[in-house]
Chain A
Amino acid sequence: MAQIALVTDSTAFIDREKIKKHKIEVVPLYVNFPDEVLEDGSIDNALFFKKLRSSPKLPFTSQPSPGDFVKVYERLVKEGKEIISIHISSGISGTVESANSAAKMVDPSRISVVDSLFTSGGLAMMVLNASSAIDEGKTREEIVELLEKMKRNTHILFVPNTLEYLKKGGRIGGAQALLGTLLNIKPVLYFSGGRVEVFDKVRTMKKALQRIVDELPSSAEGLQVGILTAETSPEHIRMILALIEERLPGMMVEKYELSPVIGTHAGPGVLGLAYMQHF
């Protein structure tokens, strides 16, 4: 049986150590500033957000080209491997399309492209769980099936500090309606069918976080939980961790930073929650 290689994209933003340890291939998206094009994740996040804040124009982001995928796929196929390529939701990025085109060019029989319907921590959980499944000796078909199950059991909810970035980036989907409101509102957004939709609207950060944490299952059994941050206020992080601890005492909570590409859309100050149960 051929060895299975995992490919994902930079928006999963899995830390370097794990990437190395699990031999995960990462294809980057791009952030296009007026003066330079950055590969997602190629610079330190703090530096990136400094640049984002001082940029006269909001940068636009772009998906990897099919060529970017072809390079990686060809190399892996040449090494005799089968490929599972798991990516940011097709509802907010064209990355899956690029991957599909590349797979067709290289060898569709050896490559499974999976639309995760999520990104960031949700995508990262799927990739890392798939990696464990490879270690357990599961086949490509079995793992793809497992990933389908994971998709159904994954949730991401988040509260942007401001809607400005989502609005400028055009990735706001169902949250569009909120832009015209007269009141100061803290929207709670979520991934629904691969798109960003409004989950709820409240007036204060505390209520928004409570609302998010209330969605967590009441049992920690088979549960993976992570918080998603990007230049998030430490006070808000403490607040959500306390709420999670209150709901699920002793729960291990992973911390996922948003990649610059996702950070560009969600905006600095965002705070989110990703969780997956019983895939």
Chain B
Amino acid sequence: MTKTSQGNVFLSGSDLRHMILEACNYFELYKESINELNVYPVPDGDTGTNMCLTMTAAAKELQGVDSDSIGEVAKITARSSLMGARGNSGVILSQLFRGIARGLSGKEEASLSELGRAFQYGIVYAYNAVNNPVEGTILTVAREIAKGSREAIQKPLEIIDLLRIAIESGRKALDRTPELLPVLKEAGVVDAGGLGLIVFLEGCLHSALKRTAEKEGTPYLGEEGLSPLEIPDKFENGISSANDTEEFNPSYPYCTELLIKGENISLPEVRKSIETCGDSIIVAGDGELIKVHIHTAHPGTVLEKCLEKGSIHDIKIENMIDQYNETRWSSGKQDTYKKETAGYPLKNEFDSNLKASIGVVTVSSGEGLSAVFNSLGTDKIISGGQSMNPSVKEIVDAIMDAPAEKIIVLPNNSNIRLSAQQAAEIVDKEVKVVDTRSIPQGIAALLAFDRKKTLAENYKQMSERALQVKTGEITYATRDATVNNITVSKGDIIGISDGNLLVRGDTINGTLTELVNSILAEEDEILTLFYGQDVTGKEAREIAEHLGEKYPYIEVELQYGGQSLYYYLLSIE
């Protein structure tokens, strides 16, 4: 850090590099504690691990860098964290880096106000990454951090003070997340991704304090009161990563986004002019380029108001009601294949060409499940799932390895969607990510896959089909919690259906039977049970037989899944 004669603080590339390396080490200390806490006490709360791995990917790359250009360091951080990004929170973090890199692009060093502005870009990128941003998550925390810092840098101050203010704004926002997101409030928790971001900033603060101490020649003994983990006491039921929750106000169904280009545009004025048009308003950027995001009932009015400030670009209006599962994760790329009449290929000879052109990449864990995916025509399997989310790079590699030019990705887990979407955006191939949130949904989607059809047709068909199965999971509680009015203790067996905790029990079979009972309907015909590695074939056959006798009108099919953590995965049609 250097100071100019006017007292302005400048940050160098090596400062930033040091900060990220330090933050990464610091984060490592708290990741497990973040992991253990989740709205649903299922053994897949990986927010801490995912964010940590995302940072580690950047840190690894930065270790070998000796550039002192802050633009260069930021660029490397952005690129490597994106490739290493895991889970939704990891992807959002990488997008913050990406925006910061854009803001610092070409700069040797940056003033605090430049840094603050770069962070605004980060917010824009992060919100952009999530097509349907949800307030009460890491995004809200990031935005409030940006807001707090923006106000702070109006006055000259040290980087240490800036970071302290940023952390304080973040913590305030974090405390408010339960008010913004009902699912958090219901579970009495705050958002885990948001906490992760604060921990990261605390790591940065450590770095800055250390650097300052080194320069002043005084020993650095750490900072009092930094540890964020008094939080579990404050929020008894833990912390959640709730980026997946789609909550929006139905009176503002149109998610409207655009860029305003112009000169000396005032952000507050833009914000004020559209304030009454809706909610979930984001206005970010600088005086020349402003990103606007709003949920509104009148997108036309918003466009007109923005037009008063400058020229408008990259306009995107989506009906969020339709959007559910349809276009949310679509990359917006166009298909080059023409739609064939009613799904019938006109000529058989075209088949062999088309065969090479569309492939499927699937995320799966457990040899049995992978075998099922293979037998249904998956081109490439990425190992991963509940216990380990694959990185963006692993997904990129699988997409590139698959012998087809167009690729459908089945993430089969809500926490892998964003990584898959990011991977889709960086590869050279045309990729669609079907929003499958569980293995049974993935299998249902894959059944609808047809190489003879176009990418867009497959995407549509597979997305629809994924939602037509009812899914269930039998696992155990990783901590005490009360969810959906069901109180569970650590170690209890729990039954979840389509993301909702429905039953608790003491035995695997009892819980399974109760879960089946609560989701089975008269019109259902087939129940498929995939048993995991912690259940024997004999146990599985016995319970399958029992269910078959109990419900004679349905066919019970038993398959070895081999998955960890989940005793049974079930699919009902």
* One of B48-56, B511-519, B520-528 contacting the partner: B520-528
Q: Which residue of B lies closest to A179 (CB)?
A: B375
Q: Which residue of A lies closest to B344 (CB)?
A: A192
Contact of B559 among A183, A202, A206 (CB under 8 A): A183
Chain B, residues 441-452, CB within 8 Å of chain A (1/0): the string is: 001100110101
Given contacts A182-B375, A185-B447, contact A193 B348 (CB under 8 A): yes
Task: Contact check, A204 vs B377: say whether CB atoms are below 8 A apart.
Answer: no
Task: Contact check, A195 vs B348: say whether CB atoms are below 8 A apart.
Answer: yes
Q: B537 at the A/B interface (Cβ < 8 Å)?
A: no
Task: Contact check, B375 vs A203: say whether CB atoms are below 8 A apart.
Answer: no
Contact of A184 among B377, B448, B526 (CB under 8 A): B526
On chain B, the residues within 8 Å of A56 by CB distance are: none
Given contacts A182-B375, A215-B342, contact A206 B450 (CB under 8 A): no
Residues 553-573 of B at the A interface (beta carbon under 8 Å): 555, 557, 559, 573
Contact of B372 among A174, A182, A190 (CB under 8 A): A182
Q: A205 at the A/B interface (Cβ < 8 Å)?
A: yes
Task: Contact check, A183 vs B372: say whether CB atoms are below 8 A apart.
Answer: yes
Chain B, residues 438-478, CB within 8 Å of chain A (1/0): the string is: 00000110011010100000000000000011000000000
Contact of A181 among B342, B344, B376, B526 (CB under 8 A): B376
On chain B, the residues within 8 Å of A265 by CB distance are: none
Contact of B450 among A183, A198, A203 (CB under 8 A): A198
Q: A180 at the A/B interface (Cβ < 8 Å)?
A: yes
Q: Which residue of A lies closest to B465 (CB)?
A: A202
Please measure, in the bound complex, the distance between the C-alpha atom of A263 and the C-alpha atom of B461, giving whole angstroms.
31
Please measure, in the bound complex, the distance between the C-alpha atom of A102 and the C-alpha atom of B345, giving whole angstroms.
32
Given contacts A182-B559, A183-B559, contact A192 B573 (CB under 8 A): no
- B555 to nearest A CB, angstroms? 7
Task: Contact check, B448 vs A201: say whether CB atoms are below 8 A apart.
Answer: yes
Question: How many positions in chain A have a CB within 8 Å of any CB in the partner chain?
Answer: 26
On chain A, the residues within 8 Å of B371 by CB distance are: 182
* Interface SS majority for chain A: mixed
Q: A51 at the A/B interface (Cβ < 8 Å)?
A: no
On chain A, the residues within 8 Å of B557 by CB distance are: 183-184
- B450 to nearest A CB, angstroms? 7
- B567 to nearest A CB, angstroms? 20
Task: Contact check, A204 vs B526: say whether CB atoms are below 8 A apart.
Answer: yes
Chain A, residues 193-228, CB within 8 Å of chain B (1/0): the string is: 111011111111111000000010000000000000
On chain B, the residues within 8 Å of A200 by CB distance are: 447-448, 450
Q: Which residue of A lies closest to B469 (CB)?
A: A203
Please measure, in the bound complex, the distance between the C-alpha atom of A189 and the C-alpha atom of B376, giving whole angstroms.
16
Q: A151 at the A/B interface (Cβ < 8 Å)?
A: no
Please measure, in the bound complex, the distance between the C-alpha atom of A195 and the C-alpha atom of B468, giving whole angstroms.
30
Task: Contact check, A193 vs B573: say whether CB atoms are below 8 A apart.
Answer: no
On chain B, the residues within 8 Å of A201 by CB distance are: 376, 447-448
Task: Contact check, B375 vs A206: say whether CB atoms are below 8 A apart.
Answer: no
Q: B347 at the A/B interface (Cβ < 8 Å)?
A: yes
Please measure, in the bound complex, the distance between the C-alpha atom of A201 and the C-alpha atom of B343, giving whole angstroms.
14
Q: A177 at the A/B interface (Cβ < 8 Å)?
A: yes
Task: Contact check, A183 vs B573: say whether CB atoms are below 8 A apart.
Answer: no
Q: A155 at the A/B interface (Cβ < 8 Å)?
A: yes
Q: List 29 A-B contacts (CB under 8 A).
A: A174-B351, A177-B377, A181-B375, A182-B371, A182-B372, A182-B559, A183-B372, A183-B375, A183-B443, A183-B528, A183-B559, A184-B557, A190-B344, A192-B344, A192-B345, A193-B348, A194-B348, A197-B452, A200-B447, A201-B376, A201-B447, A201-B448, A202-B573, A203-B444, A203-B525, A203-B526, A203-B573, A215-B342, A215-B343
Interface residues of A (CB under 8 A from B): 155, 174, 177, 180-185, 190, 192-195, 197-207, 215
